[in-house]
Amino acid sequence: MINILKPKKRAKKDPVFSDLMKDAETANERDIVQTPLLAIIVTTSLDRLNFVSFINSVVTWDEKQ
């Protein structure tokens, strides 16, 4: 019963989250001159798995569009 009356502790600010938010706010102001490594890895992996051809073989495209 006593625990209910105690005020909850405030969560501490996470410095990593704060840094990410600052980067996101300034991202519109920067020009990207390099492709992120993660994008290169994902693209290469999907190419090796023939992802595009697999999707095209499974999906039935609507010819009216």
Q: Judge if pTM exceeds 0.85.
A: no
CA 26/CA 23 separation, integer angstroms: 5
Q: For residues 14-30, give the mean pLDDT.
A: 70
- Report pLDDT for 47: 94
- For the chain, the average pLDDT equals 78
Confidence of residue 41 (pLDDT cuts 50, 70, 90): very high
Residue 33 has pLDDT above 80, yes or no: no
- Residue labelled with tokens 């019963």: 1
CA 38/CA 45 separation, integer angstroms: 11
CA 5/CA 57 separation, integer angstroms: 61
CA 1/CA 8 separation, integer angstroms: 14
Return the higher-pLDDT residue of 21 and 45.
Answer: 45
Return the higher-pLDDT residue of 43 and 65.
Answer: 43
